[in-house]
């Protein structure tokens, strides 16, 4: 029986990269997308996440579970700190794509740069990465960059420009860093096939898939 996976997003920029990846990774999956593009604008206009935006996100997640999802991937980085809370309230597992990726990158030696396209993700991502470093007893050091113009390009569905701007930023930073992390799922397509001289590129779709499959299998084993 096919597994039904819900992708819950707040920007169209994240929908295509994650959907395309999962269709290649596991063609047997039944994918259902849920999108609330206003929510990202709301968070930006209100200066961050508040009770209203958390409730709006929870309503979308609970709808996905009620519609028969076996698992949910919440593609939006800014809601990553709330994933454990959401999972505790819902009957199906919810994962964020960036946690496993940031954990892996945090354990690597050398200098790390994290690239974002949406300014609202910068401090959240920095906090998660530094938290993983702290657990390892490592210096909480990372350089954060916002790729100017990429978010706006994606918003108007100019994905060619979106990806080009990200790749140009990676090329600019390559040689200065040992790891370059593309923080958001929406950036994953830009990282596909990208060749660098020094830096290892981290993207999050595979991390999300592996995490969700593991949790669903553990739940099945428990019966």
Residue given tokens 């259902």 in the structure block: 32
**pLDDT beyond 90 at 166:** yes
CB atoms within 10 A of CB 223: 4
Domain map of the chain by residue range?
A: 4-96+206-222, 99-203
Confidence (pLDDT) at 223: 61
Q: Which CATH number is associated with domain 99-203?
A: 3.40.50.1860
Arithmetic mean of pLDDT, 178-187: 92
Residue range 64-90, pLDDT digits in tens: 999 999 999 998 888 988 888 998 999
Q: How far is CA 222 from the centre of its chain?
A: 28
Quick one: fold of 4-96+206-222?
Rossmann fold (3.40.50)
Which has the higher per-residue pLDDT, 15 or 144?
144
Contacts of 26 (CB under 8 A, 6+ apart): 209
**pLDDT beyond 90 at 44:** no
Contacts of 196 (CB under 8 A, 6+ apart): 170, 171, 174, 180
The domains spanning 4-96+206-222 and 99-203 adopt the same CATH topology: yes
SS3 category, 76: coil
Closest of 209, 187, 184, 207 to residue 5, by C-alpha: 209
């Amino acid at each position: 029986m096919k597994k039904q996976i819900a992708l819950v997003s707040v920007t169209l920029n994240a929908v295509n990269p994650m959907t395309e990846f999962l269709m290649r990774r596991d063609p047997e999956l039944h994918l259902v997308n849920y999108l609330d593009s206003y929510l990202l604008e709301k968070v930006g206009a209100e200066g961050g996440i508040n009770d209203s935006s958390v409730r709006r996100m929870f309503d979308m997640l609970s709808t996905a579970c009620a519609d028969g999802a076996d698992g949910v991937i919440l593609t939006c980085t800014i809601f990553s700190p709330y994933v454990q809370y959401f999972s505790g309230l819902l009957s199906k597992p919810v994962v964020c794509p960036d946690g496993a990726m940031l954990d892996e990158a945090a354990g690597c030696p050398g200098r790390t740069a994290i690239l974002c396209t949406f300014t609202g993700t910068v401090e959240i991502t920095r906090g998660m990465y530094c938290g993983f470093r702290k657990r390892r007893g490592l210096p909480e050091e990372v350089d954060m960059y916002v790729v100017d113009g990429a978010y706006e390009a994606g918003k108007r569905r100019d994905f060619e420009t979106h990806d080009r701007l990200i790749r140009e930023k990676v090329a600019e930073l390559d040689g200065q860093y040992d790891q370059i992390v593309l923080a958001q799922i929406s950036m994953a397509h830009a990282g596909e096939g990208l060749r660098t001289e020094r830096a290892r590129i981290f993207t999050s779709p595979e991390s999300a898939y592996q995490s969700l499959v593991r949790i669903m299998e553990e739940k099945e084993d428990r019966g």
